[in-house]
Amino acid sequence: MTVTKGDIQDAELRILQGNSMAESSQKSYDDDLYNNAIDLHATDSKTDKGTRILTKENALEACTDLFEKKDDTNTPESQEKLKKKFN
């Protein structure tokens, strides 16, 4: 295994920043949420075979799912806020 200068700099930066496991765990959790929302609501592109896209309508549904799961909010205010963003 070859260690590059960038690997060493990354390690030094992590040491200087302290333990960031909680932060990286949160980022992993967020990535999983976003990827699941995209996987659930993406559709096959009509023009580019093998490509999946989010339509405007599906993106609204994906965002609603994210709001419910990430922020644990499913209030009329949050729903109205999302609808305004997509208008």
pLDDT digits (tens, 9 = 90+) for 8-41: 777 777 776 665 555 667 777 888 888 888 889 9
* Domain positions in the chain: 27-86
N- to C-terminal Cα distance for the chain?
52
pLDDT digits (tens, 9 = 90+) for 57-67: 888 888 888 87
pLDDT at 18: 63
User: Are 58 and 43 in contact, with CB atoms under 8 Å apart?
Assistant: yes
Provide the token pair at 2.
Answer: 């070859």
- What is the pTM (predicted TM-score) of this model? 0.55
